[in-house]
Copies of this chain bind each other. A is one copy, B any other.
Amino acid sequence: MPREPVSIRPIGVVRNGVRDPRPTGWESVRSDVILRDELTDLLEGIDSYSHIIVVFAFHRVPESELRERVRPRGAARVPEQGVLATRSQLRPSPIGLSVVRLLKRRRNILRVEGLDAIDGTPVLDIKPYFPNYDAVPDAGMPEWARALEGTGDPRAG
């Protein structure tokens, strides 16, 4: 079992003016993902993809708030889940990831739509989205999760 922590220097930051986490309404939020200046050339070609994966840090969750189990979106009718069986931010590793639409690139700035991360969130990585590799449209999920679709951010659980 690897013991050494992995240290990751953020490559950028989220700017969108959203000060606090919100349970819903992220779909239409537009954000700038601003990368460190010296990484500009590493983005060459990214704008030939319609979607990217943004990997970011949950930077405002204190260790004392981490949970073993959560009730997704607080829904009383939903069975409690182990936190690793959810997208909750109360997980042991402070890593979030979202698939978002890439609207445009200007130098080291990526304008994206639908990123559910607050202003100031450290960005750890971005990746082009390959539908043949990343999309599993018929992936199975439990009935209760299907019933919750569209009722809010899965990360709010």
Contacts and interface: CB of A to CB of B under 8 A. Distances in A.
Contact of A44 (B69, B99, B136): B69
A45 B140 CA distance: 13
Contacts of A39: 84, 92
Interface string A50-61: 110101010100
B36 A1 contact: yes
A117 interface: no
Contact of A85 (B45, B51, B92, B125): B45
Interface of A: 1-13, 34-36, 39, 41-46, 48-51, 53, 55, 57, 59, 68-69, 79-87, 91-95, 97, 99, 120, 122, 124-142, 145, 149-150, 154
